Amino acid sequence: MWVVATAGHVDHGKSTLVRALTGMEPDRWAEERRRGMTIDLGFAWTTLPSGATVAFVDVPGHERFVPNMLAGVGPVPAALIVVAADEGWMPQSAEHLAALHALGVRHGLLAVTRTDLADPGRALRQARAEIAATSLGEVAAVAVSGTTGAGLDELRFALDQLGAALPAPSTSAPVRLWVDRCFVVRGSGTVVTGTLGAGRLRVGDELEIAGSGERVRVRGLQSLGRTCSQVAAVARVALNLRGVAHQRLARGAALLSPGRFHRSDCVDIRLAGDPAADLPAQLTLHVGAAAVGVRVRPLGPDTVRLRLATALPLRVGDRALLRDPGRHRVTGGVTVLDVDPPPLRRRGAAAARAQLLAAMDGSPDFTGELRRRRLVQGARLARMGVPVQGTPLAGDWYVDPAHRDDLRARLAAEVARHQRENPLAAGLPVDTLCRLLGLPDRALLAPLVPAPLVLRDGRVGTPSPLPAGVLRAVERIRQDFAHAPFRAPESDLLTALGLGPREIAAAVRSGLLFRVAENVVLPPDAVEAAARVLAGLPQPFTLSAARRALDTSRRVAVPLLETLDRQGVTRRLPDDSRTLGGP
C-alpha cells in the first residue's frame, strides 16, 4: 500500500512521525534536515502487524513547495493527513486537503501529532470536521507522538485497516508511470522513480517516452530497495533505463506502454470547484507528477476546454486539479471528459458542446463515444481509455448504428442519382462514393452497400443497370439468333435496335452480351459453347472447319478463335491449324 503523508504547515512533526514508524529518514537533503522542513518528496516504508507493507511519499508542507507536494500526491491512492496538536488546522492544511479532494482521493487517515506538547482534542475535532466535507469523508483518527512513541501501535493498526479497504488495482492495465525523480547511477546510467498506479513492469519491457515517442528498455527494476524481475501495481519503483540520457527525462515526464495512450494538448473537462466563468485565463494543470500551463475556455457552468502548453498522455476519467499559482490556491478538481474533442469553429458550437458535455460524467462509455464520434477505430478509443465492445463494421472500424443506417441511405441515394444521370454507366466508383460519404477507408464501403445494390468491379450499382430499351434490344437479339448463336447480328441491325457503342458496352458489363470484336457480339456463354462445338471436330482443325461447325461467317470466326487462343481454350499451331487445350 502506498500512502501520501501530507502536513499543513512546515512539518507538524510529519517527518518525525514517518521516521518513528519506519526507522527511515524521509528527508533526503541535508538542507531539509538542517531547516527541519520537507522541501522535496521523500520515501520510506515499513511492515505492518498484518505483514503487509505500507510505504509513504513524504510531501512538503510549506506553501513555497506546493508544486512538489502535488507531484507526490497525484499517483497515490490514499493519504495520511498529519496535523499538530499544538498548532491545529493551518491555512496550508486547507490547500493540501483541497488538492486531495480535487484529485478524488477517497481513502485516508488522520494523525494528530506532537501530543507530548499539547492536548490533541481541539486539533482532532477541527481536522475531522474539515476532512469530512471532502471526498475523504469520515476518516479514522489517531493521536500520536513521534517523539515519545505514544499511539504508534494504534497508528499501525489503523494503517492496516486503511490498506484493507483500498480497491484492488488493475495489474493488466497499460503502464503510465509518472516520473518524479531522474538521476544517474555510476555504472548503471539513467534511473527514474515513480509510483506505479496500474499495470505491471518487467525487466526487459520496452516503454515509450510521452511527448517524444522515443523507446527505452527497462534494464533493471527495484521496488522498496529490492531488486525485482517484475513489479505489479500499486508500487514504488525505480527503473534503470537503456537507450536514453538522463537529460531527456525530468519530473512530470511519463513512461508508457507503447501505443496505448492518446497524447492530448486539448481536453474537455468537468470542474468541481470555482465556477467555470470565474476562472483566470491561464492556470496550471497538475496530473500525475506533471504540472503544465493551460489556457482556459469556459463552455458551461462546470465544463471547460483546456489547451495544454505540453501534450500529456491523458485518458477519459482521469482526475487532476487546476491551481492558480499566483493566488496560491486550488481552483478546482478536474474530471477528464474528452481527450480528443472536436474543434469549435461555427457560431453556437461552444454552447452545443457544453450541452453535450453536461450529459457526460467521465466514465468510459463505448456506446456514448460511438454516438458522438459516429465512426471511429477501436484502437483510437482504447488509447483514450474507452474499452471496445461488439463487432467492428470493417477492420478496426466501429460505427454508431444510427450513423450506419444514415450512411446506407445516403449511399443508395447517391447511386440512384448517378444512375438517373448516367443510365448506361456500370455504377458509381468506390472512391467517389467514399468521398461523398466522408468514409476514411475504402474497406468500409462494402458492408454499407444495401440490397439490391451490388459492389462489382470497383463500382456500386444495381444488378441490372440497363435501361428498358437496351434490355428489349438484347432480348430481341437473343430470340432472333437462338437457332444460330454464332451468327452475330450485323452492324445495321444493331443500329436499328438502338445498340450503339455505349449501349453495347453497358450490356457487356452487365453480362448480357459477349463482345469478341467491334460490333461483333455473341451470347454471354459464347466461349463455353464454342469449345463444346469444336471438341467434336477431328483435331487439329482449320479455320474453315471451325467456321462451318460453328455455322458462322469469317467475320465472327476469326476474332472468336483468337479469343479462344488468348483464353487457352485453343492452341494455334505453326501451320495455322488449331487444337483444343493449351501446350
Q: Identify the band that residue 61 occupies on the pLDDT scale cut at 50, 70 and 90.
A: low
Q: Which residue has the cell 515513480?
A: 194
Q: Is 559 exposed, middle or buried (0-12, 13-18, 19+ CB in 10 A)?
A: middle
Say how far apart CA 437 and CA 439 lie, in whole Å. Answer: 6
pLDDT at 72 over 70: no
Give the mean pLDDT of 117-132. Answer: 92
Note the pTM of the prediction, 2 decimals: 0.76
Of 10-24, 349-363, 470-484, 486-500, which one has max mean pLDDT?
349-363
Give the mean pLDDT of 92-105. Answer: 82
Question: What percentage of the chain reaches a pLDDT higher than 70?
Answer: 91
Say how far apart CA 294 and CA 317 lie, in whole Å. Answer: 19
| Average pLDDT score, the chain | 86
Per-residue pLDDT tens over the stretch 449-489 = 998 888 988 989 877 667 777 778 888 888 878 888 898 88
Specify the range with the lowest mean pLDDT, choosing from 7-11, 53-57, 200-204.
7-11
Q: DSSP letter at 38?
A: -
pLDDT at 35 over 70: no
Which pLDDT score, from 0 to 100, does residue 518 have?
85
Say how far apart CA 290 and CA 296 lie, in whole Å. Answer: 18
C-alpha R_g of the chain: 38
Give the mean pLDDT of 321-326. Answer: 88
Per-residue pLDDT tens over the stretch 210-243 = 988 899 999 999 988 899 999 998 888 999 998 8
Q: What is the CATH number of domain 480-580?
A: 1.10.10.10
Say how far apart CA 155 and CA 141 lie, in whole Å. Answer: 8
Say how far apart CA 186 and CA 183 lie, in whole Å. Answer: 10
pLDDT at 8 over 60: no
Q: Identify the band that residue 62 occupies on the pLDDT scale cut at 50, 70 and 90.
A: very low
The CA dihedral of 510, 516, 520, 526, to the nearest 10 degrees, is -70
Specify the range with the lowest mean pLDDT, choosing from 72-86, 132-146, 418-432.
72-86
Say how far apart CA 255 and CA 178 lie, in whole Å. Answer: 7
Which pLDDT score, from 0 to 100, does residue 25 have?
63
Q: What is the CATH number of domain 2-165?
A: 3.40.50.300
Q: Identify the band that residue 582 occupies on the pLDDT scale cut at 50, 70 and 90.
A: low
Amino acid identity at 217: R
Specify the range with the lowest mean pLDDT, choosing from 93-97, 153-157, 290-294.
93-97
pLDDT at 39 over 60: no
Which pLDDT score, from 0 to 100, does residue 362 have?
92
Say how far apart CA 245 and CA 265 lie, in whole Å. Answer: 25
Q: Identify the band that residue 380 occupies on the pLDDT scale cut at 50, 70 and 90.
A: very high
The pair phi, psi for residue 65, each rounded to 5°, is: -115, 25
Question: What percentage of the chain reaches a pLDDT higher than 90?
Answer: 50
Cβ atoms of 218 and 243 within 8 Å: the answer is no
Report CA torsion sign: 457, 462, 464, 466: negative
Cell of 154: 494504534
Which pLDDT score, from 0 to 100, does residue 500 have?
82
pLDDT at 511 over 60: yes
Task: Tell the CATH superfamily of the 176-256 domain.
Answer: Translation factors (2.40.30.10)
The pair phi, psi for residue 223, each rounded to 5°, is: -145, 125
- Which residue blocks in 301-400 are alpha helix, DSSP H? 349-357, 366-373, 378-383
pLDDT at 184 over 80: yes
| Architecture field, domain 272-363 | Beta Barrel (2.40)
| DSSP per residue, 141-183 | EEE--TTT-TTHHHHHHHHHHHHHHSPPP-SSSPPEEEEEEEE
pLDDT at 37 over 90: no
Residues whose CB is less than 8 angstroms from the CB of residue 488 and which lie 6 or more positions away in sequence, other chains included: 481, 516, 520, 521, 522, 552, 555, 556
pLDDT at 30 over 50: no
